[in-house]
Amino acid sequence: MGLNPHPLDDKRLKLELDRELADVSPDDLERLAAARPAAPAADERGRVPGRIVEIRGADVYVDLGGKSEAFLPLDEFDPHTPPQPGELHTFVMQGIDRESGLMRLSLREARTEADLDSIRVGDVVEGRVTGLNLGGLELTVGSLRGFLPKSQVELERIEDFTPYIGRRLECQITEIDRRGRNLVLSRRRVLERKREELRQQVRYTLAEGQVRKGVVRRLMEYGAFVDLGGVDGLLHVSDISYARVSHPRDVLKVGDEIEVKVLKIDLVKDRISLGTKQLQPDPWNVVEANYRLGQNVEGRVLRLMPFGAFVELEPGVEGLLPVSELSWTKRVNHPRELLQEGDAIRCSILAVDVEQRKIALSLKALGPDPWRDVHERYLPDTVVSGRVRGLADFGAFIELEEGVEGLVHISEMSDKRIRTPADVCKAGDVVQVRVKSVDPAQRRISLSMRIAPAEEADEASAEAATAAGSATSGGATKPARPAAKPRKRKALKGGLDR
């Protein structure tokens, strides 16, 4: 209603008032005149509803009803969503401001109270990481402060937490400090629950023979644990590659995404066996076509063992070079006397067994066999020189040439009875010996230090005895005694005959 610029008619105004107040008694008029605006009603925590009236500078003014007005700082509102006149909010009364005489309000505290009322231990909430300290991460969950211990951030141990600052994380409430208005959180519990849900889904969809993608989570000496999406499987070191792998870290690292084949599932023991080499062609499928008997091949020495050396011919294909096949001419006690791991060598194939995945190799087969024509070079009764290589209880080993040795039995070391071979010679001595027999198949040569053959020695002894008898009888000839039957001799030590 607009105002009339002309002077008011006091009589008319009085008549109007008298008509309006005709039913009001003088006592009621007195009470109305003494009445003051009623303070807004607040709940037991001092919370009161209010409507935003206007924004003046850094303050926001709120109508609490009943002609009561209050204010609060503008910075209690989200800067991205500033307050608008007419909006309804719940505030917490914080007392009368001395300067303005108006009620001070807090929106932040009201929201904190509301947040505390709406949560329980075990609830899952989302918070934003605002910082970190020695114990863990600091978060804001709505209007509340949260603390996330380091051990509860991930399923695995984490060293650097800096990348988490600014991220929003889903966590479970483990403790509520209502007085301090703080929360203790656990993201690990949320991850464990999700992993178990995925685990159950994946567990019953896995099947042997499937090919799946996974992420390498841990590396051990015996293999790698691969996450298939909530379920871990073991990729054994022997199933990583057809080539020999000493340690999984040589070909894998944590965080790698790889493709694996499910080899075996044991739901009772909760074990899943995986393989990657099964996704590659087996090199042994073409071994029979690529490697033949007598073929000369090149390889790399992988391992040295007392019984021989393992040689890699190609990735996934190995052969065994026995210690007996290392040299024709040297007595080798251990492969390390001639080879080292990593050496590149050339050798010959002796045997191929595809079913057993075995290849036998020889190094000495590349050179001539000194025993090949030994029977032509060492004829029986030939006298030769040799060096004593070693002594045994039953005789002496004589090296006739490099790679060719013979045995002199103790009974052939002297015309006299001896106690031990050491009574006649010692290692390193050069001696003359007579060849008794040669067995190229068994690689044996029987020798004797009794240079004259036994038959010639017996005849010479008989002639000497006859001459001695004639001299004794003064030239008379006496009948000769019949020859004694030769005695049967026992077998000699060492398995050799005279």
pLDDT tens digits along 50-94: 889 898 888 999 988 867 789 998 988 878 888 888 888 888 888
Q: Are 207 and 265 in contact (CB under 8 A)?
A: yes
Please check whether residues 159 and 124 belong to one and the same domain: yes
The answer to whether position 332 is within a domain reads yes
DSSP lists the bridge partners of residue 344 as 300
Q: Does residue 23 lie within any of the structural domains? A: no
Average pLDDT over residues 435-443: 89
Cβ–Cβ < 8 Å for 169, 127: yes
Q: Tell me which of 113, 133, 165 is where a domain ends.
A: 113
pTM above 0.85, yes or no: no
Answer yes or no: is 131 within a domain.
yes
- Lowest-confidence range among 199-213, 237-251, 394-408, 460-474? 460-474
User: How high is the pLDDT of residue 199?
Assistant: 77
C-alpha angle 46-50-53 in degrees, rounded to nearest 5: 140
Q: What is the pLDDT of residues 246-274, one digit of tens each?
A: 899 999 999 999 999 999 988 777 789 99
Supply 267's token pair. 């739901």
Among 32-41, 179-188, 289-298, the range scoring the smallest mean pLDDT is 32-41
Q: What distance lies between CA 278 and its chain's CA centroid?
A: 19
Torsion-angle region of residue 18: left (phi > 0), alpha (psi -120 to 50) or beta? alpha
Same domain, 187 and 216: no
Section 374-378 average pLDDT: 87
Question: Cα dist. 492→394, 434, 495, 496 in Å?
Answer: 9, 18, 6, 6
Please check whether residue 2 lies inside any domain of the structure: no
Residues 259 and 218 in one domain: yes
Where do runs of H (alpha helix) occur along 128-219? 187-203
What mean pLDDT value characterizes the chain?
A: 82
| Domain closes at, from 192, 222, 242 | 192
Same domain, 412 and 361: no
- Contact between 196 and 232 under an 8 Å Cβ cutoff? The reply is no
Instruction: Specify the pLDDT at position 93.
Output: 86
Distance CA 235, CA 242 (A): 13
Q: Are residues 107 and 143 in the same domain?
A: no
Residue range of the domain that includes 429: 374-454
* CATH number (domain holding residue 271): 2.40.50.140
Tell me, what's the pLDDT at 231?
A: 83
Q: Are 294 and 255 contacting, i.e. CB atoms less than 8 angstroms apart?
A: no
- pLDDT tens-digit map of 388-412: 989 999 999 999 988 888 999 999 9
Main-chain dihedrals φ then ψ at residue 35, nearest 5 degrees: -70, 145
* Overall domain count for the chain: 5
Same-domain pairing of 409 and 381: yes
Pick the closest to residue 235 from 250, 256, 255, 220 (CA basis). Answer: 220
What pLDDT band is residue 306 in, cutting at 50, 70 and 90?
Answer: very high
The verdict on residue 487 lying in a domain is no
Question: 3-state DSSP: the chain helix, strand, coil percent, rounded to 5?
Answer: 25, 35, 40
Residues 133 and 180 grouped into a single domain: yes
* Domain edge (last residue) among 137, 170, 192: 192
Integer distance in angstroms from the first to the last C-alpha of the chain? 153
Q: Are 201 and 195 in contact (CB under 8 A)?
A: no
What residue spans of 308-379 are helical by DSSP H?
Answer: 374-377
Strands 103-106 and 296-305: unpaired
With residue 280 as reference, give the H or E element that holds it. Answer: none
Q: Is residue 481 part of a domain?
A: no
- Any domain includes 486: no
Q: Does 7 reside within a domain?
A: no
Q: Which residues contact 294 (CB under 8 A, 6 or more apart)?
A: 348, 349
Residues in the chain: 498
